[in-house]
């Protein structure tokens, strides 16, 4: 039996910055989320893929 499929939608405005929005001072939340998803196995227990690779 196939595992249940879920749909996840992410809406990121990308406008956060501490001083002036630039390539180096922005997107802190999106970068944090991408790092967390890259570190989280998907499916759980997998050693081959990460949560971020399931995102298209």
CB 24 within 8 A of CB 37: no
Domain contains 17: no
Domain contains 10: no
DSSP codes, the chain: -PPPP------------SSS--SSSS-HHHHHHHHHHHHSBSSTT-SS-BGGGG--
Range of the domain at 42: 26-56
The predicted-structure confidence for 11-47, as pLDDT tens digits, reads as follows: 777 678 888 888 888 888 888 888 888 888 877 777 7
Domain contains 42: yes
Structural domains counted in the chain: 1
CA distance 18 to 23: 12
Domain contains 14: no
pLDDT above 60 for 56: no
CB 38 within 8 A of CB 50: yes
Domain contains 11: no
């Amino acid at each position: 039996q196939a595992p249940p499929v879920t749909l996840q939608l992410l809406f990121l405005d990308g406008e956060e910055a501490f001083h002036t929005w630039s390539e180096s001072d922005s997107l802190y939340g999106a970068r944090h989320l991408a790092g967390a998803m890259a570190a989280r196995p998907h499916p759980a227990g997998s050693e081959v893929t990460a949560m971020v690779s399931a995102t298209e």
